[in-house]
């Protein structure tokens, strides 16, 4: 839920940048593509090669653009349907790349099977968290509940990755365990919310 609460503050920070991009004619979709490609490349080629601190720092810079594209779209009078789909797809791609890169590194030279298992499990739970909400909204239900959403997921995995890159022992394991527990609770919360709204309703 941090993403919703932080949005007004982030909008104020990005305001000068948004005005400049508007003058230059840059679109929100272009920012979305740049952020996605940058985050995926940073995860795959930097984190995936064991450069954990700088990889986490680079991914952080690019995922912050996710907040910029929304602000830019609103400044242009509102985003498009295509832009919303592109943004959500880019988010999923970036998230998957981060966890896949961790699994790749720690299944090889990083040599930590526990981190591999945690990373892959958190990846699956992240997909479920997003899918349950998307599917529920596609059925006309609301599903905005959840302890851990994308903002919290990124904070935990990137902080853990960065601290591990600085040599702090068990930082990534602790953050991934917290993420696993929080994501499991979130999936349960969303299923409970959907069940409560769908009770007695049938498909037509």
From 91, 95, 111, 144, the catalytic residue: 91
95 in a known ligand binding site: no
User: Residues 177, 39, 58, 55: is their CA dihedral positive or negative?
Assistant: positive
* DSSP one-letter code for 78: S
74 in a known ligand binding site: yes
31 in a known ligand binding site: yes
144 in a known ligand binding site: no
- Give percent helix, percent strand, percent coil of the chain, each to the nearest 5: 80, 0, 20
66 in a known ligand binding site: yes
Q: Which of helix, strand or coil describes residue 157?
A: helix
Clarify whether 95 is annotated catalytic.
no
Identify the CA nearest to 151 among candidates 166, 129, 171. 129
80 in a known ligand binding site: yes
How far apart are alpha carbons 163 and 135 in whole angstroms?
A: 35
Q: Would you list which residues are annotated within the binding site for Mg(2+)?
A: 66, 69, 87, 91
Residues known to be catalytic: 91
Annotated binding-site positions for a CDP-1,2-diacyl-sn-glycerol: 29-32, 70, 74, 80
């Amino acid at each position: 839920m941090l993403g919703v609460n932080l949005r007004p503050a982030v909008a104020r920070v990005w305001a000068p940048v948004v005005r400049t991009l508007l003058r230059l004619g840059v679109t929100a979709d272009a920012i979305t593509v740049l952020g996605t490609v940058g985050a995926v490349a940073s995860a795959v080629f930097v984190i995936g090669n064991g450069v954990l601190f700088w990889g986490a720092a680079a991914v952080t810079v690019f995922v912050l653009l996710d907040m910029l594209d929304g602000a830019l779209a609103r400044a242009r009078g509102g985003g498009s349907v295509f832009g919303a789909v592109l943004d959500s797809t880019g988010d999923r791609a970036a998230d998957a790349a981060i966890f896949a890169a961790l699994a790749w590194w720690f299944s090889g030279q990083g040599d930590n099977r526990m981190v591999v298992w945690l990373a892959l499990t958190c990846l699956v739970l992240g997909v479920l968290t997003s899918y349950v909400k998307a599917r529920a909204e596609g059925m006309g239900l609301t599903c905005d509940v959840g302890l851990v959403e994308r903002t919290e997921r990124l904070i935990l995995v990137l902080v853990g990755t960065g601290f591990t890159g600085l040599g702090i022992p068990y930082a990534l394991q602790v953050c991934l365990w917290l993420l696993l527990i929080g994501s499991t609770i979130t999936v349960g919360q969303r299923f409970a919310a959907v069940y409560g709204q769908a009770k007695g309703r049938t498909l037509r």
